[in-house]
Chain A
Amino acid sequence: QQQVKQSPQSLIVQKGGISIINCAYENTAFDYFPWYQQFPGKGPALLIAIRPDVSEKKEGRFTISFNKSAKQFSLHIMDSQPGDSATYFCAARHSNNQGGKLIFGQGTELSVKP
């Protein structure tokens, strides 16, 4: 049972383009939605996060768009750069905390071509 579904599995974007990664969730009790970025040979690291009471959060070139009614959220990377090439994971946290557990999506391998 995959509670957070992420797409696409891989993405190739030209330098300067917009990268878009989508996630959908099923459990309406999720209350926190982070995105993690993982470079080859490294562990994932928090990139940006959003709570469901806002529809958008922007940090630099990275924006999360959140659609509560559709139970979907997405990561947009504007002006994509080769240094953004990494694997991106969306995740969700249950409102009752459950030990701070996160449910992760399947991951998207992003490659930004120069």
Chain B
Amino acid sequence: DADVTQTPRNRITKTGKRIMLECSQTKGHDRMYWYRQDPGLGLRLIYYSFDVKDINKGEISDGYSVSRQAQAKFSLSLESAIPNQTALYFCATSDPGLPPYEQYFGPGTRLTVT
């Protein structure tokens, strides 16, 4: 089974709808991240969490919110989706301990807002 899973894998929604993307991990890591990927822009950090009680904004948090329900679960919500939120979304986890400080990514969710 995959260590980092994301649901759904694909989603098409309409402008103004609320949508939630979910991430679960079995790696036992405290740190979790949400990124979006756009062609030519790379991976940009939306939110990150050190542990269940710690949530931090990334570089592009406007229009998004998150919830860390448990160590293993980190959800990303779009309260009112807009077309420019159409992108590939990735969840990642990391262990803060030792180099190479690797981040482990899920398979991604492709979101289309029409």
Q: Which residue of B lies closest to A106 (CB)?
A: B42
Interface 1/0s, chain A 37-50, versus B by CB < 8 A? 00001111110010
**B residues near A, CB below 8 A?**
4, 31, 33, 35, 37, 39-45, 48, 50, 56, 58, 90, 92, 94, 96, 99-108
Q: Is the interface of B mostly helix, strand, loop or mixed?
A: strand
Q: Which residue of A lies closest to B92 (CB)?
A: A43
Point out the residue from B4, B31, B42 that lies within 8 Å of A43, measured CB to CB.
Answer: B4
Which residues of A55-106 are within 8 A (CB) of B? 89, 93, 97, 99-102, 104-106
- Residue among B42, B50, B106 with max Cβ neighbours from chain A (10 Å): B42
Known A34-B102, A44-B105, A107-B43; 15 more pairs at CB < 8 Å: A32-B99, A32-B100, A32-B101, A42-B107, A45-B105, A46-B103, A51-B99, A89-B43, A99-B48, A99-B96, A100-B48, A100-B94, A104-B42, A106-B40, A106-B41
How many positions in chain A have a CB within 8 Å of any CB in the partner chain? 23
Provide the bound-state CA to CA distance between A51 and B35, in Å. Answer: 24
